[in-house]
Structure 1
């Protein structure tokens, strides 16, 4: 293990403010931690599996099958169960943990080179700009903007002890999970159960029904613009009537993402990702977290299916009732990947790791590919494909990620957007070709 991989291997102190950060260089390939790249590669492909419905069908269809513009039959219902149990939320949680780890990893190396946290702030500023471009010009499901904004908060916590980061992350996550559960349980109880039929609850039920109708109508409006090929109209709608949504996402996802990033920082510093934990414990806790979390998710999914996939019921299980088992599964998956990945040296593992090294390009690149696949001015498949067919598109796109990433990185030092982000961060041009 190289010294840069060891928690606490560099002082947790900022460099003097007059350090010439433009003279710094990014991390070399030899300084990378293999497990991070592999997990990141799996996460970026898993995020596509989670998001494909929102790419190819109205955004509300992500959680509410009735919003599909195609038939959502029994096979699709069971595929929804499988996706909820195995994918939804877990890949984003993994990505968020790794983002936190990456924040500290970047600063650990920057501190070793004599930089201050100003370099990280500059890096996050440009990530925020990328997120705004993604949201307003490409796809409304952007996570980069709120990752960057929350990342600014995490930067202020990087000098805490790893123990303080760990416990603050855990307590903060549990608090957020309880708050989400409370906030999302009330709409379900009022709107979807007999309790909402009482005279006292009737006004709230009317308001909730109105909110549901407005959300579905707005989703249909955006869908019509996509199907028509009116890209300018689609962008105008996002910029004029939905300009505030990236800020809303900061608060909506903040109670989950901020604690997860802190946990990622703490786990990295404690050696979780570099194999410093006892293998037996990693396997034990990994399988326990994965099994218990999956069983919990399955119970929620089967309940929702039996309940008829109601609007507020689905919102409750996706956002309100699944954060705790989601954390269990995300940590379990991460532990098992860290423990078993050193044995995976075949061509597939190499390509997944390469996709992880180019995760930024793959994440934004996927959204751009989906523009051409679904928007009316291109292939025009929006609203035309059933859930099973959307998974075919997902498989082909993941195959594309695996196909290009490794050959590219054998010839070039970074992924295209990774290179651009580094150049902007350091304020200088770096050679791209090896």
Structure 2
């Protein structure tokens, strides 16, 4: 199949303008579509259940239950991998955006920072108006402010920067694990002193209170859980009053914790784009090799991570001074991420399942709209100001909801792109970025292209 792909050095020298449909790269759109749909697999428990399955100190369901089996599959194959893929593509998008605009010969820094500034605003609205505590737009916008200064680095230097950020991320979470373990051991010492009827020192009183607060937040008891469920089934103002303080903390104090992992993946995405990996420019044999290595090493590593401390429990923490999974997790995630990406790129290059590719690419082209739509649908299904299904479904039943939302987004995105060039929220973001109203309806000259480009096999 002979078609063209996006080539920044072939663009004409014109004023800065949005990327049009024929200039898009199908591989990136398909990857983005899969990542967007996959993210819902990990987000759905936060929307629907009173405890986060990946939170510290979480008690897993019984190993012979269907919930455990589904959780096992999702955690091993998809946990972190879909968000990682989305982050890779965000980094790649930074390079594509800046490169395409730089070809006009005009400064792009103002345009770029206006784009990131509006993304931050959208993230704040997403979190505080639509009430999604797992928002990533705000963090991505913050990361984007930093990524601009790495745009001209060679791929090798970007890889070094990504590894440094990953090291900082592992260090931060290792210190957090050590902090939790120290709290727990100090609490156990207090319990032992009480059992021996020894008077507690002020420091021991403080230690006991510190652990009880941590335990209350990470492993709430039945009464706290019931109160939380009632809150989430309440009115909009009730839910907002509970969630917003947590979101403020995540967007201030915790940004310095979570930014390193996001930056490491985005920098890697910039490198992989420049190397031609994400655009399908490597040989078929190389992609097959990465797929075999990624799954061959990544699956055993992911299984090891799952069975050796992720997610970790109180008993695990008491017995293990070091949580090896904190170091094995980034490795297995990267291996499986490369395996997933290589498989998808091979699918695009093969030219098979073109209809499926077009559906996935359509979701990827409307990634921002679909990401927000997931929040709208899930909050209306689960929160009290909607149908109020919060806490009413078992873990495995949530994925029936996921399947229904996937169907809506796959079919709806394809149908939308028959009549419009971009998604409604993409149109808003683009218009705000260029500070002028952008065209939305499809042009007649584009109506026969369907916005898809395919790489040569």
Q: State the partner residue of 2:338.
A: 331
Change (3 A) 1:206 1:291: farther
The 8 Å contact of residues 58 and 313 in structure 2, kept in 1 or not, is answered as no
Q: What is the deviation of 1:312? A: 6.0
Q: State the partner residue of 2:170.
A: 177
Change (3 A) 1:114 1:263: same
The 8 Å contact of residues 134 and 142 in structure 1, kept in 2 or not, is answered as yes
2:301 equivalent among 296, 299, 303: 296
Q: State the partner residue of 1:395.
A: 403
- Whole-angstrom distance in 2 between the partners of 1:392 and 1:3: 37
- Whole-angstrom distance in 2 between the partners of 1:261 and 1:253: 13
1:83 equivalent among 71, 74, 88: 74
2:281 equivalent among 276, 283, 292: 276
- For 1:261-272, list aligned pairs within 5 A: 261-272=266-277
The 8 Å contact of residues 225 and 234 in structure 1, kept in 2 or not, is answered as yes
Further displaced range: 85-94 or 232-241: 232-241
- Whole-angstrom distance in 1 between the partners of 2:59 and 2:128: 23
Change (3 A) 1:409 1:310: farther
The 8 Å contact of residues 308 and 324 in structure 2, kept in 1 or not, is answered as no
Q: What root-mean-square deviation, in Å, do the aligned CA atoms of Structure 1 and Structure 2 show?
A: 3.5
Instruction: Tell me whether 1:341 sits opposite 2:343 in the alignment.
Output: no
- For 1:20-419, list aligned pairs within 5 A: 24-63=16-55, 74-115=65-106, 116-138=108-130, 139-184=132-177, 187-188=180-181, 191=184, 207-216=210-219, 222-228=228-234, 230-239=235-244, 242-304=247-309, 321-343=328-350, 344-419=352-427
The 8 Å contact of residues 58 and 67 in structure 1, kept in 2 or not, is answered as no
Further displaced range: 378-387 or 156-165: 156-165
- Higher percent of residues as helix: 1
Q: What is the deviation of 1:90? A: 0.6
Q: Which has the larger radius of gyration?
A: 2
2:428 equivalent among 420, 424, 433: 420
Q: What is the deviation of 1:405? A: 0.5
Question: Structure 2 unaligned runs (5+)?
Answer: 194-202, 443-457
The 8 Å contact of residues 168 and 262 in structure 1, kept in 2 or not, is answered as yes
Q: What is the deviation of 1:182? A: 4.6
- Whole-angstrom distance in 2 between the partners of 1:306 and 1:252: 18
Further displaced range: 345-354 or 130-139: 345-354
Q: What is the deviation of 1:91? A: 0.5
Change (3 A) 1:417 1:233: same
After TM superposition, the score normalised by the length of structure 1 is 0.86
Q: Residues 171-205 of structure 1, C-alpha deviation per residue, up to 9 Å, x if partnerless?
A: 33244234424532553586489997898x98767
Change (3 A) 1:279 1:190: farther
Change (3 A) 1:356 1:190: same
